[in-house]
Structure 1
Amino acid sequence: MPGQTALTRRHLLGLASAGALVATLGGVTACSKTEGGGDSDAELLARLKKRGYAKVAYANEAPYGYKEGGALKGEAPTLHAEVFKALGVPELRPVFSEWDGLIPGLLAGKYDVISAGMAILPERCEKAVFSEPEFISPTAMMVPAGNPKKLDDLESAKKTGITLGVMSGAAEKGYAEGAGIPAGRIRTLTKPQDGADAVKSGRIDAFVLTGISLRWLARTNEGLEVTEPFVPVVDGVKQYSPGGAVFRKGAESLRDAFNTELQKITSDRERYVDLLGAYGFTAAEMPPADLKTAQLCSA
């Protein structure tokens, strides 16, 4: 797989302005502390166990991590709750962040981990520490019911000359550009629902996101359908989309303990599907055993 296939999900193109990001990084050392504590890396898990909870950030994107009826739900919080319980930390306390603010907030010590299904990408690995992959997911398009433009991938979108929608800060913009779709035919939307609304109104012909996200979105948007998933290709490389938990640099011991328990779940087909099936995750989303974060970070 190394050298042949890059696996990515959402690409954070708008993490922060360059100046703001430099300022944020400039104030964070390799052993930066989380809010309310100055523990060393080795002490962090012990402190979380003692206080009984971990602060987790979510971006309110179903089905990855979202609030419903006051409860934190979704793939990442559900999976991470199971892992942290095994580590002796029985509670997750949610902190909301806009997508572009997730990593800056982590670096600023506002929470202990990002539980948002974030893609493992080299540029993000330079700023934070990722768990091993917890899922993979191919891409799809949301289109009007009946798929009048007969779209099935980005190549077909290019050939038909449609206007395509992508989410702000997401990998799909890079996929569209990599497929040769002109910038003037790519529209950026703030939230997934904005993309659905734009398709309904005819402002765009299709909205591109992960298949899991779009299938979830289609549940509450009549008159729309989701194409069969496909694997985008950028510069001849397939993009399969892995995501994971994100920790600050200096929390490698916590990340390693997390990985030990995560692997017990991602290697158990029945347990994985039982935990995450309600959010549309199946055995097809289980990460391959030979897919490693070190490989993804150096891609």
Structure 2
Amino acid sequence: MKFTKILAAIVTTAALFSTSVASHADALTDRAKSGKPIRIGFAHEIPWAYPGDKNEPLGFANAIAVGVLKSMGYTNIEPVVTDWGGLIPGLQADRFDIITGGMYITGKRCKNVAFAEPMGKFGNAFIVKKGNPLGIHTYKDIKDKDATMVTVAGYVNVDEALKEGVPENKIMQVPSNTEMLAAVRAGRADAGAGTYFDARNLSESAPNEIEPTDPASLPEWTNNWVAIAFKKEDQDFLKAYNAAQAKYLGTPEMLEAVGKFQYTKAQLPGDAKADWICANR
């Protein structure tokens, strides 16, 4: 009789312990499983991530993130659009749950957010006046020619330029690509720095005035991997997301979803892992 009571007590304690452990899933896992919307944060960055006419999430970073979330069984997704510089602060302030804006993994950012494994690898470039009158192809060209560079606040190009010796007073920072294009067109800056996608798309919007530089001119270390970012405490959800993304990346379904946004097989991330990238970028 005593043994039976002891056994029953053990079973009850184990059940309570199990329930306690289960209830300690991270906040995003609890939110998603309760049916609340998963809020995805992004800026207006064509073709990475941007809102459609009805605020729907467009761009290849959004397409991949939404595809992965759907494969996990989550279809209640709420877009939240903000300025690029507000993405990490917005995540930390719980204005949204995930950053899907096409953010490069860097050591500095890794201190503030938890990145999923990379979804793609990309190079950077400049926009310059037609004919590239100053012959700007690299950050060292900007330094040597005493030129002024403009980029979007929060872009990795600021740190890249500083690393290559561009003086801080020669780096203009603006809120968006629209202002970057305007600065180069007006002659307030000699070159605008961003991703090659940025440079190509901005040049196409002003084909008689602006042209992109060749991303291959920049050193290899300026190539970057892009990933979805989570709050550091949402490790359970991040682990599940990584497993689902590994099955989704490179599939015909995924490539079809991103094809309209200029992403091709050439941008697939390869074997680099987020931990290594955090330590080396």
Same fold (TM over 0.5): yes
Give the direction of change, closer, same or farther, for the CA distance of 1:197–1:52 in structure 2 (3 Å limit): same
RMSD of the alignment, in Å?
2.2
- Work out the CA distance in 2 between the residues paired with 1:263 and 1:158: 41
Amino acid paired to 2:206: N
| Cα contact 2:196–2:215 (8 A) shared by 1 | yes
Question: Secondary structure of 1:230's partner?
Answer: helix
Q: When you count helix as a share of all residues, which structure comes out higher? A: 2
Q: Which residue of 2 aligns with 1:87?
A: 72
| Cα contact 1:231–1:240 (8 A) shared by 2 | no
Q: What displacement does 1:238 show?
A: 1.3
Question: Secondary structure of 1:194's partner?
Answer: helix
Give the direction of change, closer, same or farther, for the CA distance of 1:261–1:165 in structure 2 (3 Å limit): same
| Cα contact 2:143–2:166 (8 A) shared by 1 | yes
Amino acid paired to 2:214: E
| Cα contact 1:272–1:283 (8 A) shared by 2 | no
Question: Secondary structure of 1:204's partner?
Answer: coil
Amino acid paired to 1:254: F
Q: What displacement does 1:84 show?
A: 0.6
Match of 2:232 among 217, 225, 249: 249
Match of 2:92 among 107, 113, 123: 107
Give the direction of change, closer, same or farther, for the CA distance of 1:254–1:119 in structure 2 (3 Å limit): same
**Structure 2 spans left out of the alignment, 5+ residues:** 1-22
Deviations along 1:255-295, one digit per CA (max 9) or x if unpaired, are: 11111121123344x55442222222222221012x00111
- Work out the CA distance in 2 between the residues paired with 1:125 and 1:257: 19
Q: Which residue of 2 aligns with 1:9?
A: none
Match of 1:69 among 53, 72, 79: 53
- Work out the CA distance in 1 between the residues paired with 2:194 and 2:35: 38
| Cα contact 1:52–1:90 (8 A) shared by 2 | no
Give the direction of change, closer, same or farther, for the CA distance of 1:105–1:184 in structure 2 (3 Å limit): closer
Match of 1:183 among 165, 168, 171: 168
Q: Which residue of 2 aligns with 1:55?
A: 39
Structure 2 residue 250 is the aligned partner of structure 1 residue 264: no
Q: What displacement does 1:203 show?
A: 1.0
Q: What displacement does 1:126 show?
A: 2.4
Match of 1:292 among 269, 273, 277: 273
Compute the TM-score of the two structures, normalised by the length of structure 2. 0.83
Q: What displacement does 1:296 show?
A: 1.8
Amino acid paired to 1:230: A
Q: What displacement does 1:254 show?
A: 0.8
Q: Which moved more, 1:47-56 or 1:174-183?
A: 47-56
- Work out the CA distance in 2 between the residues paired with 1:42 and 1:274: 32
Query: Runs of 4 or more off by more than 4 Å in structure 1?
Result: none
Question: Secondary structure of 1:279's partner?
Answer: coil
Structure 2 residue 157 is the aligned partner of structure 1 residue 167: no
User: Which structure: larger Rg?
Assistant: 2
Match of 1:277 among 249, 259, 262: 259
Q: How many residues align?
A: 256
**Structure 1 spans left out of the alignment, 5+ residues:** 1-38
- Work out the CA distance in 2 between the residues paired with 1:206 and 1:226: 10
Q: What displacement does 1:88 show?
A: 0.5
- Work out the CA distance in 2 between the residues paired with 1:287 and 1:161: 35
Structure 2 residue 211 is the aligned partner of structure 1 residue 225: yes
Q: Which moved more, 1:270-279 or 1:40-49?
A: 40-49
Question: Secondary structure of 2:137's partner?
Answer: coil
Q: Which residue of 2 aligns with 1:202?
A: 187
Q: What displacement does 1:232 show?
A: 4.3
Equivalence map 1:111-126=2 (5 Å): 111-126=96-111
| Cα contact 1:139–1:231 (8 A) shared by 2 | no
- Work out the CA distance in 1 between the residues paired with 2:94 and 2:171: 35
- Work out the CA distance in 1 between the residues paired with 2:255 and 2:217: 22
| Cα contact 1:79–1:275 (8 A) shared by 2 | yes
- Work out the CA distance in 2 between the residues paired with 1:114 and 1:80: 9
Structure 2 residue 138 is the aligned partner of structure 1 residue 157: no
- Work out the CA distance in 1 between the residues paired with 2:229 and 2:129: 35
- Work out the CA distance in 2 between the residues paired with 1:90 and 1:231: 42
Q: What displacement does 1:192 show?
A: 0.7
